[in-house]
Chain A
Amino acid sequence: MAFLRRYLIPRLIQYVLVIFFGVTAVFLVPRLAPTDPIASTIAQIRSQGSYLDPATVDQFIEDLTELYGLKGSLWEQYIALWRRLFRGDLGVSFFQFPTPVIVLIGRALPWTVGLLLTTTVLGWLIGNIVGGLAGYFSRQKWSRALDVVAMVIRPLPYYIFALALLLLLGYLVRWFPIAGGASIGMRPSWTWTYVRDVLRHSFLPALSLVILGGTLWFQTMKLVVQNVNAENFVQYAKLGGVKEGKIVFRYVIRNALLPQITGLGLALGQIFSGALITEIVFSYPGLGMLLYNAVITGDYNLIMGITLLSIVAITTAILIIDLLYPLFDPRVRYR
Chain B
Amino acid sequence: MISFIPYASFRFFCLIAVLLLPVIILGLMGKRNLLYNDCVAILMTFLIFAAQPAQLISFLIFIIWEAVLIRGYLALRARKNTGLYFYIAIVLSVLPLFLVKLSADVTSLSVLGFLGISYVSFKSIQMIIDIRDGLLKEVPLSQFFRFITFFPTISSGPIDRYRRFKSDMDQIPSALTYRTLLYHGLNKIFLGFLYKYIIGYLIHKYWMGSPLLDSNTFSSILLYMYGYSMYLFFDFAGYSHFAIGVSSLMGIQTPENFNKPFLSRNIKDFWNRWHMSLSFWFRDFIYMRFVYTAVKNKWLKNRYLISDIGITVNFLVMGFWHGFMLHYIIYGIYHAIAFILFDKFERWNKTHHLWAKDNPWVHGLSIVITFHVVCFSFLIFSGRLNFLW
Tell whether A and B belong to one assembly.
no
Q: Identify the A interface with B (CB < 8 A).
A: none
